[in-house]
Structure 1
Amino acid sequence: MLRSMLEAFKNLFKPVRTIQYPAEDIVLPNGYRGLIEYGIDECIFCDKCEKVCPPGAILFYQHEGGEKEYRYNPWLCIYCGECVRACPKPEEALWQSETKQRSAVKEDGANEGWFVYEDACKKSRQRYVEAKKADKIQNKSEE
């Protein structure tokens, strides 16, 4: 107890180490891993980023015509960078920007819409696979 009181007393005379945010801007350290940025023109839609994402913050929606739609949830992302490492075109199709992460302000229903979208993505892929199988069967029967 005496030891902790002595430590508390010493801390009274040490300089303050906190940042006076928002009056002072926060300086980001080298190697800062910020928000995930996506380049739709460079993406080859290999789905590697979706497969390696630990929390499942990246999803691809499969449209009927075969094209895919990229979707990213920054509130679910843990900014680990696995998606960028797995990307065959890093710095072109997928990269981590030095943009500051969004604040942890609670938004009503922020993830509820994401879970609905997650189910829609799974169902879209199932429909796409079933449609491909049906086309294959139809092509064989026509021959």
Structure 2
Amino acid sequence: MFRSMLEAFKNLFKPVRTHPYPAEDIVLPSGYRGLIEYGIDACIFCDKCEKVCPPGAILFYQHESGEKEYRYNPWLCIYCGECVRACPKPEEALWQSEIKQRPAVVEDGANEGWFAWEEACKKSREEYAAAKKAAKTQNKSEE
């Protein structure tokens, strides 16, 4: 008990070793992997980023017209960069920016919408595949 009190007393007179974050901005190291950025014009919708994403933070919604819609969940992302490595057009369609990650404080229900979106994406893929299969069957029967 005496040793810990002595150590605490000594630490009162030592310089502070923490970073004064609110007063000074944090300098990011080179090669910092920040938020995922997406360029819709360059994307070829190959779905490779969605397939390799370990936590499933990237999803594509399949519209009936064949178009796909990109969705990204920064609270689910682990910033590993696998999606960027898998992308055939890195730095154009998908890249990691040097934008700092959002604070870890998440309001209640932040992922509620994501789980609904995840189900909608899965359902849209199944419906699109079924419609495509039905159209193919219909084309074969017409021939």
Q: CA deviation at 1:81?
A: 0.5
1:33 aligned partner: 33
1:42-93 per-position Cα deviation (integer Å, ceiling 9, x unaligned) = 0000000000101000000000010100000000001011100110111010
- Out of 108-117 and 14-23, give the one that drifted further: 14-23
**What stretches of structure 2 of length at least 5 have no aligned partner?**
none
TM-score by length of 2: 0.91
Structure 1 residue ranges (4+ consecutive) displaced by more than 4 angstroms after TM superposition: 1-14
1:80 aligned partner: 80
Distance across 2 between alignment mates of 1:56 and 1:100: 21
1:19-52 per-position Cα deviation (integer Å, ceiling 9, x unaligned) = 1121111111111110000000000000000001
Q: CA deviation at 1:8?
A: 5.8
TM-score by length of 1: 0.91
For 1:1-143, what aligned pairs fall within 5 Å after superposition?
11-12=11-12, 14-143=14-143
Distance across 2 between alignment mates of 1:15 and 1:97: 34
- Out of 107-116 and 127-136, give the one that drifted further: 107-116
**What stretches of structure 1 of length at least 5 have no aligned partner?**
none
Q: CA deviation at 1:9?
A: 6.6
Distance across 2 between alignment mates of 1:102 and 1:138: 50
Count residues with an aligned counterpart. Answer: 143
- Let me know the Cα RMSD of the aligned residues: 1.7
Distance across 2 between alignment mates of 1:75 and 1:21: 22
Distance across 1 between alignment mates of 2:6 and 2:86: 51
